[in-house]
Chain A
Amino acid sequence: EVQLVQSGAEVKKPGESLKISCKGSGYSFTSYWIGWVRQMPGKGLEWMGIIYPGDSDTRYSPSFQGQVTISADKSISTAYLQWSSLKASDTAMYYCARHLRGYSYDGNYYYYMDVWGKGTTVTVSS
Chain B
Amino acid sequence: QSALTQPRSVSGSPGQSVTISCTGTSSDVGGYNYVSWYQQHPGKAPKLMIYDVSKRPSGVPDRFSGSKSGNTASLTISGLQAEDEADYYCCSYAGSYTLGVFGGGTKLTVL
Which residues from B are CB-within-8-Å of A100? 51
Which residues from A are CB-within-8-Å of B34? 102, 104, 110, 112
Contact partner, B100, options A95, A110, A117, Cβ 8 Å: A110
Q: Mark A12-43, 1 if CB is under 8 A from B, else 0.
A: 00000000000000000000000101000000
Secondary structure of the B contact surface, majority rule: loop
Closest residue to A112 on the B side, CB-wise? B36
B64 within 8 A of A: no
Count of chain A residues near B, Cβ 8 A: 29
Count of chain B residues near A, Cβ 8 A: 29
Give Cα distance in the complex from A59 to B100, angstroms.
Answer: 12
**A46 to B102, Cβ gap below 8 A?**
yes
A44 within 8 A of B: yes
**B99 to A50, Cβ gap below 8 A?**
yes
